[in-house]
A and B are shown apart, each in its own frame.
Chain A
Amino acid sequence: MGFRPVDEIVGKYQGKKTALISILHDVQDQYNHLPEGALRKVALKLQMDLNDIYGVATFYKSFSLTPKGKHSITLCLGTACYVRGGPRILREMKKDLNIEPGQTTENKQFSLNAVNCLGVCAIGPVMVVDRKYYGEMNAVKAKRIIERMNKKGNGGKS
């Protein structure tokens, strides 16, 4: 892979070093994670130390150096979701998918994330599956959504 889209992405930000975080967001959107080769190319293009780029890529939570699953499940653990039972949903999801937050199932179907607030606090607990927001969740409802997705695709428990 020549990581050609990286040229375009860096070009979009006129090769500005200060746009590094935005650039990494776009690279991640393109490849579903931050591949090493792409980061090397970003470093070259921005004339930055790969070390510094690695630092940024690992400091901010939204970046992942490993490939993410086909479906992303994000559970909100902001205070409002927390006091309405968010942790219990996470516990069940972890058990069901057999992974910890931040990890991806072995069959690369699901990535599980727990975040500190999605700003949809009024209807917590909130879960986001592939960018679709679900409000007033509980463990049972969450399980059913995952089951439905499993049936639709070829996904399964790892």
Chain B
Amino acid sequence: MRIIKSVSQLERWREQIISKQKLDGVVISVCGGTGCHAYGCKGVKDQFAKNIRKDDAEHKIRLKFTGCRGFCERGPIVTIQPQGVFYQRVQEKDVPLILSQTIEKGKVLDHLLYEDSTKKRKVASEKDIPFYKAQHRLVLGNNGLIEPTKIEDYIGMGGYQALAKALFEMEPGQILDEITASGLRGRGGAGFPTGKKWEECRNTPGDYKYIICNCDEGDPGAYMDRSLLEGNPHSILEGMVIGAFTMGANQGFIYVRHEYPFACKSAEIAITQARRAGLLGKDILGSGFDFDAEMAKGGGAFVCGESTALIASIEGKIGEPRSKQVHTVTEGLWGKPTNINNVETWANVPLIIRQGSQWFSSIGTEKSKGTKIFSLVGRVKNTGLVEVPMGISLKKIIFDIGGGPQNGKKIKAVQTGGPSGGCLPASLFDLPVDFDSLTEVGSMMGSGGMIVMDEGTCMVDVAKYFTHFLEEESCGKCLPCREGLKRMREILAGITEGKGNGESLSLLEELARVVADTSLCGLGKTAPNPILSGLRYFRSEFEDHVYRKRCPAAVCTHLIQYSILEGDCTGCGACKKICPTQAVEGDRKKSHRILSELCTKCGSCKDVCKANAVRVQ
């Protein structure tokens, strides 16, 4: 790799990369996101590599192993350029066929195409798939085009041009104005204006300053930061160097959860490459500006997503938050001014610098600009990462992009904002998705988890789940959070076990208010949100549990019964064979029966029943 010492050298390098890429001919991209890994994408990639080598076709076919393309549920995903063919659920055995038919003869393989079930037709290109159609993939779009381990791919796409512009055509003050004018707000959860944060850090006097990229992504059900760092790490690094130049920072850290092994590797490789190319370190691009970055690994603590706890963790200490009377921008890492932004925020920075604040602020709503990546997951048909302009309605995301219900069950809620957020009922699905609208109705944007729930999801159980989650993740430093969460979880557990009484709900509400008012950090302050939003929108479900000892969603094991529907049972015997407690009886080819006194409600019979004859009530 070369060392780039000036803008003209960077430009020359880019031109060389582009002219070399023109010789590539066909490009086969295999998605290497973690979701596709679970479906065996590595085997598919290896098969391609083997066959291409065997055919001696390396000079005319470029094989790319890219980052996550978002439509994880349909993995492994393979795309072929320049034809623009989008194949899904590709298996190793399909590889020779793709090479001999699609690559050699230009023939599209029908069985690997996505089927649009609403129109009952096969779709050959990505842009025609409903899941992608309504999206606006500014930040995530390049994930499918570049190989994250190759800095050349990023440079070829115009990477580090924003940095060159920032270093040589702009003053730090101008960059700050541009970020402020763009209206960019923090993508990590709270939506604090990025420009304001940068300004405070910039104005704080100090001989040494730090910036941090927060990839602790602890919100369960959200994985956009992981996918960005895995799939396009240089865009984040570029954003960080621009930020460092603006604020006068000397050193940066990318803090990654250790549960993300691919992201850790990707960040490390990108840092090494950028350093070797002269895009990190001393005298970046010959500008005289020095800045370096390194990766820090987390240890599996949710609270470390909180800025002061994260700082403690980088310092090698226990991840306990501290009171925020003094902001981290004035006194952060090792007591020095420190600016922390989330992965997606950093990734937006190069886009704004390159294309201007005016362009950026033309997307989105009045107070929430740009796009936001959501992980659309749970009980919805099309699951994956979706990037949409701010202000789009929940309905559009869940039904147009997500394709609606998964198994014909009615969708009743969507959970946003992670454990600090809340569950919103279907009656609010016309709501525009932006920072302020979601907060107004008792939830929040959070880092972008969007977990769809249907009739089969019990809202009391969900409230119990989040409270238990937060109880486990509470660092234990302050009493309201440590003790309050435990008591609230106990009350909720009692309700799901049919032990709730007339006082349970009012006691829950009272405790929730105390915990919210008196906890030290954001974790405790927002911890009661799942309970409060549950009671606000789904009170009747809570009351069913308390007063009628019934779980309408048939989830809470103490309140449900398993049975076999006589007319639907084919008597295949699969349930009888799998039942661990011999609670199923019946002769072959005759309807079976569940003996409730032996049944442990494990649900295995339902898992194996092909006739869908097992009922839970």
Which A residues have a C-beta under 8 Å from some C-beta of B? 17-22, 24-25, 52, 55-56, 59-63, 77-80, 82-85, 88, 91-92, 95, 115-124, 126, 131, 133-135, 138-141
Contact B38 A133 (CB under 8 A): yes
Q: Quote the shortest CB–CB distance from B226 to chain A (angstroms).
A: 4
List the 6 shortest-distance A-B pairs measured between CB atoms, nearest first: A60-B299, A78-B220, A122-B72, A20-B316, A119-B223, A133-B38
Q: Quote the shortest CB–CB distance from B180 to chain A (angstroms).
A: 32
Q: Does B317 contact A (CB under 8 A)?
A: yes
Q: Quote the shortest CB–CB distance from B135 to chain A (angstroms).
A: 15
Give Cα A78–Cα B319 distance, bound, in whole angstroms: 21
Contact A83 B457 (CB under 8 A): yes
Give Cα A92–Cα B602 distance, bound, in whole angstroms: 7
Q: Does B300 contact A (CB under 8 A)?
A: yes
Some 7 contacts from A to B, beta carbons below 8 A apart, are A18-B314, A21-B313, A25-B258, A121-B375, A121-B377, A121-B449, A123-B39
Complex partner residue of A55 from B315, B318, B602, CB under 8 angstroms = B318
List residues of chain A with CB within 8 A of the CB of B384: 122
Give Cα A123–Cα B261 distance, bound, in whole angstroms: 18
Complex partner residue of B378 from A62, A77, A79, A126, CB under 8 angstroms = A79
Which residue on chain A has the smallest CB distance to residue B421? A79
Give Cα A24–Cα B298 distance, bound, in whole angstroms: 11
Given contacts A56-B317, A60-B298, A122-B376, 13 further A-B contacts (CB under 8 A): A24-B299, A61-B299, A79-B415, A79-B418, A80-B378, A82-B465, A116-B302, A119-B217, A119-B223, A119-B260, A120-B38, A121-B220, A123-B383
Residues 444-466 of B, flagged 1 when their CB comes within 8 A of A and 0 if not, give: 00000101010001000010011
List residues of chain B with CB within 8 A of the CB of A126: 38
Give Cα A94–Cα B608 distance, bound, in whole angstroms: 20
List residues of chain A with CB within 8 A of the CB of B315: 18
Q: Quote the shortest CB–CB distance from B276 to chain A (angstroms).
A: 19
Residues 313-344 of B, flagged 1 when their CB comes within 8 A of A and 0 if not, give: 11111110000000000000000000000000
Complex partner residue of A62 from B222, B300, B465, B608, CB under 8 angstroms = B300
Contact A134 B38 (CB under 8 A): yes
Contact A122 B377 (CB under 8 A): yes
Contact B377 A22 (CB under 8 A): no
Give Cα A126–Cα B472 distance, bound, in whole angstroms: 20
Q: Does B259 contact A (CB under 8 A)?
A: yes
List residues of chain A with CB within 8 A of the CB of B608: 140
Contact A116 B607 (CB under 8 A): no
Give Cα A62–Cα B313 distance, bound, in whole angstroms: 13
Q: Does B396 contact A (CB under 8 A)?
A: no
Contact A135 B39 (CB under 8 A): yes
List residues of chain A with CB within 8 A of the CB of B457: 83
Which B residues have a C-beta under 8 Å from some C-beta of A? 34-35, 37-39, 72-73, 75, 217-223, 226, 258-261, 296-302, 313-319, 375-379, 383-385, 415, 418, 449, 451, 453, 457, 462, 465-466, 469, 472-473, 475, 578, 580, 602-604, 607-608
Contact B38 A92 (CB under 8 A): no
Complex partner residue of A121 from B258, B313, B316, B383, CB under 8 angstroms = B383
Contact A133 B302 (CB under 8 A): no
Which residue on chain B has the smallest CB distance to residue A58? B318
Contact A60 B473 (CB under 8 A): no
List residues of chain B with CB within 8 A of the CB of A124: 377-378
Give Cα A24–Cα B75 distance, bound, in whole angstroms: 35
List residues of chain B with CB within 8 A of the CB of A121: 220-223, 375, 377, 383, 449, 451
Contact A84 B316 (CB under 8 A): no
Contact A139 B297 (CB under 8 A): no
Contact B73 A133 (CB under 8 A): no
List residues of chain A with CB within 8 A of the CB of B580: 92, 95
Contact B223 A133 (CB under 8 A): no
List residues of chain A with CB within 8 A of the CB of B472: 116
Give Cα A141–Cα B469 distance, bound, in whole angstroms: 26
Contact A140 B607 (CB under 8 A): yes
Give Cα A115–Cα B299 distance, bound, in whole angstroms: 12
Q: Quote the shortest CB–CB distance from B528 to chain A (angstroms).
A: 17
List residues of chain A with CB within 8 A of the CB of B607: 138-141
Q: Quote the shortest CB–CB distance from A101 to chain B (angstroms).
A: 11
Give Cα A32–Cα B314 distance, bound, in whole angstroms: 23
Give Cα A55–Cα B604 distance, bound, in whole angstroms: 41
Contact A116 B469 (CB under 8 A): yes
